[in-house]
Amino acid sequence: MKRVKIKELLKTSPQNQEVLVKGWVRTFRNNQFIALNDGSTNNNLQIVVDFNNTSEEILKRITTGASLSITGTLIASQGKGQTVEVSAKKIEILGDSDAEKFPLQPKKHSLEFLREIAHLRFRTNTFGAIFRVRNNLAFAIHKFFNEKGFVYINTPIITSSDAEGAGEMFHVTNFDIANPPKTETGEVDYKQDFFGKATNLTVSGQLEGELAAMAFSDIYTFGPTFRAENSNTARHLAEFWMIEPEMAFYDLNDNMDLAEEMMKYVMKYAMEHNAEDLEFLSQRLFEEEKQKPQNERSEMRLIEKLNFCIENNFERVTYTEAIDILRESNHNKKKKFNYLVNEWGVDLQSEHERYLVEKHFKKPVILTDYPKNIKAFYMRQNDDGKTVRAMDILFPGIGEMVGGSQREERLDKLETRMKEMNIPTQDLSWYLDTRRFGTCPHAGFGLGFERLVLFVTGMTNIRDVIAFPRTPKSCEF
């Protein structure tokens, strides 16, 4: 007989049909009722055991965490909480679990504790819901771009370039790091290394993505990226996933339109395909926020917040307009910001971004035309000589969600900017070739996937939306 997943069984009309179900024991009550879960849904299937005709040896082995295979009859449930249940005819123990040693007891566990046992936390309702949502968000991203005719490009994980110019990179080598070969001047001789040069884990696939966009018009990347940034916060990871589309013949407005459409598409997809999980996560967040003071609670429930972002047009505002709004705000005048906004040119902090979204506009905001001095070298320069065609999308509760720009397609402008920022043009001659041979206006953006999952699930710590978080001083499992 073929195994049926619990999610499907719970939607099946009971007609005394024989079924085969497999899963893990959540609870076993009165030697009679097994709550079985196989990860397809947070809802358990109740298995009714005929304990008078089941051996004592089998009953003893039905413990929390044990893996079972059960053949039985699907019947209408007499109890509360479920419409169907299985009357067990045959119970096979596939894997035992010592109930006294199993860390996940049938009680509420803190998220901090569950991070310590990340290899087991998938088995909880909270993390079951999070990772099913994450799965559908990833699928929706591929689906969105596929429907628009984008080409999916796999950009390299090991690279010799620093796309952002920030220098916070993990270095890759096969040298004995205690005794690397040296040059005559005493520097590490990377010519003897595996790749014959200094290499690192990628911080972005953008530059390589631009190369592909100059042939296919519309491409996107979706892969792991790495930042050796010593930020031990609830919003930073050393290893995370990025979605980076690059589009030839796009200007900044086209770029903003695409990013807004994509964000709404993937959130809507999750709401349609993970309604049960999101309802669970919404209730979880509501219960968690009851412990907070009223002024720290979210103004909207999770589902309401997602609908709000889907249904509203994102407000488009220039950086200069945003600075004026922030400078004149009561929040700034009463010195409620940790970083006061006094002058044009400052880099906006998360508290400023959230103020614009949550207090002033009360909707998602796209900020554009930032000062060139706080942005990367590849962004297209405006005619004012001070700003670039950059854009950031800001979301409630989280701040920056998407960062992008129209790229600088003019070779002379790009080379001048690189020299100003001390970026060696000879090391990026391959990148500059896209401006030498058939350049055109083009644009793109980057979306940190975990930030998206964080927003959609209502979680507050980014370590809870990736399976095995990599953070400073932590690389478990």
Q: What is the CATH number of the domain that holds 79?
A: 2.40.50.140
How many Å separate Cα 73 from the centre of its chain? 41
Per residue in 361-374, pLDDT (tens digit) is 999 999 999 999 99
Q: Of 69, 103, 137, which marks where a domain is finished?
A: 103
* Neighbouring residues of 437: CB distance < 8 A, sequence distance ≥ 6: none
Query: Are residues 133 and 31 part of one domain?
Result: no
Q: Would you say residue 471 has pLDDT above 70?
A: yes
Q: Averaged over 338-356, what is the pLDDT?
A: 94
What's the average model confidence in pLDDT over 122-131?
97
Same domain? 415 vs 267: yes
CATH number, domain containing residue 229:
3.30.930.10
- Report pLDDT for 164: 63
Q: Has residue 411 been placed in a domain? A: yes
* Residue 222 placed within a domain: yes
Q: Is residue 471 part of a domain?
A: no
**129 & 82 share domain:** no
pLDDT-derived band at 291, boundaries 50, 70, 90: confident
Query: What does the H/E/C string look like for the chain?
Result: CCECCHHHHCCCCCCCCEEEEEEEEEEEECCCEEEEECCCCCCCEEEECCHHHCCHHHHHHCCCCCEEEEEEEEEECCCCCCCEEEEEEEEEEEECCCCCCCCCCCCCCCHHHHHHCCCCHHHCHHHHHHHHHHHHHHHHHHHHHHHCCCEECCCCCEECCCCCCCCCCCEECCCCCCCCCECCCCCECHHHCCCCCCEEECCCCHHHHHHHHHHHCEEEEEEEEECCCCCCCCCCCCEEEEEEEEEECCCHHHHHHHHHHHHHHHHHHHHHHCHHHHHHHHHHHHHHHCCCCHHHCCCCCHHHHHHHHHHCCCEEEEHHHHHHHHHHCHHHHCCCCCCCCCCCCCCCCHHHHHHHHHHHHCCCEEEEEEEHHHCCCCECECCCCCEEEEEEEEECCCEEEEEEEEECCCHHHHHHHHHHCCCCCHHHHHHHHHHHCCCCCEEEEEEEHHHHHHHHHCCCCHHHCCCCCCECCECCC
* pLDDT(230) > 90: no
Alpha-carbon gap, residue 407 to 352, rounded angstroms:
26
Instruction: Quote the pLDDT of residue 27.
Output: 95
Cβ neighbors of 359 (< 8 A, separation 6 or more) are: 329, 331
* Same domain? 401 vs 279: yes
Categorize the per-residue pLDDT at 473 as very low, low, confident or very high, splitting at 50, 70 and 90: very high
Please provide the average confidence, as pLDDT, over all residues in the chain: 95
Whether residue 34 is found in the same domain as residue 150: no
Mean pLDDT, residues 42-53: 95
Residue 337 lies in a domain: yes
Residue for token pair 């103020």: 355
Q: Which two tokens stand for residue 391?
A: 């854009």
Instruction: Decide if pLDDT at 277 tops 80.
Output: yes
pLDDT of residue 165: 59
Residues 362 and 439 reside in one and the same domain: yes
Q: What is the pLDDT of residue 90?
A: 97
β-partners of residue 315 are 365
Average pLDDT on 49-75 reads: 96
How many separate domains does the chain show? 2
Q: Are 204 and 164 in contact (CB under 8 A)?
A: yes
Q: Is-contact 98 131, C-beta < 8 A?
A: no
pLDDT, position 168 = 85
Domain-embedded: residue 291:
yes
**222 and 450 in contact (C-beta within 8 Å)?**
no
Regarding whether 390 and 243 lie in a shared domain, the answer is: yes
| pLDDT number for residue 386 | 96
- Condensed to tens digits (0 to 9), the pLDDT of residues 86-115 reads 999 999 999 999 989 999 988 889 999 999
Task: Please indicate, yes or no, if residue 301 is contained in any of the structural domains.
Answer: yes
**Is pLDDT above 80 for 264?**
yes
Kindly tell me if the per-residue pLDDT of 166 is higher than 80: no
Do 40 and 145 belong together in one domain?
Answer: no
- The model's confidence at residue 82, banded by pLDDT at 50, 70 and 90, is confident
Cα-to-chain-centroid distance, residue 312: 22
Express as a percent the part of the chain with pLDDT over 70.
Answer: 99
Given pLDDT bands bounded at 50, 70 and 90, which one contains residue 167?
A: low
More confident residue, 164 or 277: 277
Q: What is the pLDDT of residue 117?
A: 94
Domain termination site, one of 103, 134, 151: 103
* Domain limits for position 18: 6-103
- Do both 266 and 321 map to the same domain? yes
pLDDT in tens, 414-456: 999 999 999 989 989 999 999 999 999 999 999 999 999 999 9
Which pLDDT value is given to residue 162? 73
Report, as an integer, the average pLDDT of 115-140.
97
- pLDDT band for position 285 (50/70/90)? very high
Q: Is residue 430 part of a domain?
A: yes
72 and 136 in one domain? Answer: no
215 and 286 inside one domain: yes
145 and 222 both lie in a single domain: yes
Flag whether 175 is in a domain. no
- pLDDT score, position 106: 82
Query: Residue 241 corresponds to which tokens in the numbers above?
Result: 């996933």
